[in-house]
Amino acid sequence: MSASAIKAEARRLAGTPTARIAALGLFAVVLSLVLWWPALATYPGTQVEDGPFYHRVIESAKASIFRFHELPLWNAYECGGVPLWDNPQSLVGSPLAIVMLPFNTTLTIRVWYVLHSALGFVCMWLLARHELKLSRVASVAAGIIFALTAAPSNHFGGGHTTFVPFLYAPLAILMWRRAENDRRYAVGLGCLFFLMFMEGGVYPVPEVGLVLAAETLTRMWPRPRIVRILGAAAIFAVVFVSLSAMRLFPVIDQLRHHTRAIGIETDAIHWQTLGDMFLNRSHPVRFPEQTYVWGEYITYVGVLVLGLGVIGISFTRREELWFAAVAALVLALMLGHFSEWAPWHVLKGHIPPFREMRVPSRFRLLLLLFIGGWVGMTMDRLPVAVARWFGVVAGARARAFVVALGLVGAGDALGYASTVVAPRFSGAPAAPRVTASTRLFFGGADTVQFIDQPRQNRGRLDCWDEWNFTMGAPQWTGDVPAAKSTDPNVNVMVANRTANKFVIDVEASAPGRVLVNVPYDRGWRTDVGTVSDDAKLLVLDVPAGHHVVHLEYWPHGLTAGLVLSALGALGVATFFWRERRTRRTRRSEENASSEAALP
């Protein structure tokens, strides 16, 4: 093959969709590495702030799977024991987390952030290119502003590991707007929300869902559109519920029987704080104007980005008025309890699950989507206006100037964000080797540091987990049997445990009670006698006789959920297989018709 033929083939391959997708993904990863390089450079340092909690959650899942060969259903190492699979903010069902389980957790967490930030950039790129119709360079700026600036990186660096699904918001909007006319997007959106939910999206799922609901209101006319939109919503709901059922059903059961205790919230963003959020690089951690620490408000994008974004509002076209309307709602939600009719005040007071949520300033993670979009509009449309007013040459110069401003502003915001993450990975490294206790128990004089305790096979009675309704049970510490009895009629001869299970050898001369060293939760089942709650401790009432009792934690709804999730996965795979076959057949028929029409 000649050199010219080789070059021609290379150009052809470079222009294929696969090559373009690969190039976009590689570019996104490079940008994400720029953001997270300070964190990567501190390896093997671990996260501080809330980071150790999720480090320990992942280690607890590893202990269940690799040490005990069980599903990660119960976290035996925190609060004396707490739900793990059915914990609303758990990430142990995430496909990426599962794939990364064989690797050390310190590396897993860094990869988690790098890949999700890159995915967030790609999601915003797709919305900017295919819905807002922005140029490539404008889409780059929009993607950086949304996914790679201080607000998301501050949350992730501070250990809000399950906030990463916020980064899928642009793709969710794009798919939802396309779902009206193409059911593939409705199915895809259901799959996307499944992924968000499995990644622990206790905040992202309802908040992004609220944005989609608001966007829907902008398209509810004429009447035929309503029918199509409702049809797409039905498909989305069926896919999401069926795929997520294996976690959704157990989580719903937890939410039905536990109410998260959150104090009265009245936080409303003051005007001074609003300016500081977007323009200040430094700020006191605590300040009297607001309820929460500065990390819940930081959104630095700089004067260039903010200015271009404000200008971009004036370039919002008629077909993009939905963009401005939804942005206005997101801004109002972010401002919090500024009045009795404020959107967040209404949601917080009356609408589940928002009644058990807090910190309205977190809506700024979604507001960045609209700021990025408006910056891109300015970069593309201001030069066109200048050319129309002052001529082509002036327009070309304006484009070079505005594009430079946009990229410099986005780069400045990205650069600042990278400085925010650096100190968040200064924790003590995980121990290279930890000797695991033969038996799982609580406490002990030689207990290692917090994040390494699951590897040591040691738990603690103290709580970090907010889903801590088991805290306070009268459990006992030390390497002693995991069950005992104060009943003279009952003799506990052997009591062993794993993460999710207990095996107890009991001799009872009369019906009696066994105390089990684990907090009670609805998911605990027994094959002998009955279990109940005594001051939060799980107690086992056994009949007379000799019994080998098997206790197991199996969340309510998990069995039905696993069956439905399997059926949902099969249904989704079948749907896309049939769609692909149908489209191939249609193309073949069209090609055959075209060839037949040739003279």
What's the CA gap between 223 and 457, in Å, rounded? 61
What average pLDDT score do residues 493-510 get? Answer: 95
The verdict on 491 and 347 lying in the same domain is no
Which tokens hold the place of 213? 């609901």
Question: Is residue 563 within 8 Å of 534, Cβ to Cβ?
Answer: no
Give the pLDDT confidence of 57-79 residue by residue, as tens digits.
999 999 999 999 999 999 999 99
Q: Is 515 among the domain residues? A: yes
What's the CA gap between 36 and 123, in Å, rounded? 18
**Res 582: pLDDT:** 84
**Res 15: pLDDT:** 64
HEC profile of 425-465: HCECCCCCCCCCCCCCEECCCCCCCHHHHHHHCEECCCCCC
**Res 6: pLDDT:** 53
Q: Flag whether pLDDT at 82 surpasses 90.
A: yes
Give the pLDDT confidence of 560-589 residue by residue, as tens digits.
999 999 999 999 999 999 999 888 887 776
Give the pLDDT confidence of 444-457 residue by residue, as tens digits.
889 999 999 999 99
Give the mean pLDDT of the chain. Answer: 94
The verdict on 261 and 402 lying in the same domain is yes
Q: Is 438 among the domain residues? A: no
The verdict on 412 and 488 lying in the same domain is no
What average pLDDT score do residues 345-368 get? Answer: 94
Q: Model-level pTM greater than 0.85?
A: yes
CATH number reported for the structural domain that contains residue 488 in this entry:
2.60.40
Binned at pLDDT 50, 70 and 90, residue 93 comes out as very high
Q: Flag whether pLDDT at 328 surpasses 60.
A: yes
**Res 286: pLDDT:** 93
**Res 16: pLDDT:** 77
The verdict on 487 and 406 lying in the same domain is no
**Res 578: pLDDT:** 93
Q: Is 56 among the domain residues? A: yes
Q: Is 323 among the domain residues? A: yes
Q: Is 182 among the domain residues? A: yes
**Res 589: pLDDT:** 67
Q: Flag whether pLDDT at 532 surpasses 70.
A: yes
Q: Nearest 10 degrees: CA dihedral of 36, 42, 45, 46?
A: -10
Count: domains in the chain = 2
- Residue range of the domain that includes 148: 24-425
At position 582, the amino acid (one-letter code) is: T
The verdict on 390 and 517 lying in the same domain is no
The verdict on 285 and 374 lying in the same domain is yes
Give the pLDDT confidence of 430-481 residue by residue, as tens digits.
999 999 999 999 998 899 999 999 999 999 999 998 888 988 999 999 999 9
The verdict on 270 and 178 lying in the same domain is yes
The verdict on 399 and 493 lying in the same domain is no
Considering only CA atoms, which of 90, 6, 10, 71 is closest in space to residue 498?
A: 71
User: First and final CA of the chain: distance in angstroms?
Assistant: 33
**Res 596: pLDDT:** 64
Helix (H, G, I), strand (E, B) or coil at 364: helix
At position 236, the amino acid (one-letter code) is: F
What's the CA gap between 484 and 257, in Å, rounded? 28
Give the pLDDT confidence of 176-205 residue by residue, as tens digits.
999 999 999 999 999 999 999 999 999 999
Final residue before a domain boundary, out of 382, 403, 425:
425
Question: Is residue 379 within 8 Å of 406, Cβ to Cβ?
Answer: yes
Q: Flag whether pLDDT at 127 surpasses 80.
A: yes
Q: Flag whether pLDDT at 12 surpasses 70.
A: no
Backbone φ, ψ for residue 442 (5° rounding): -110, 140
The verdict on 176 and 39 lying in the same domain is yes
What's the CA gap between 46 and 44, in Å, rounded? 6
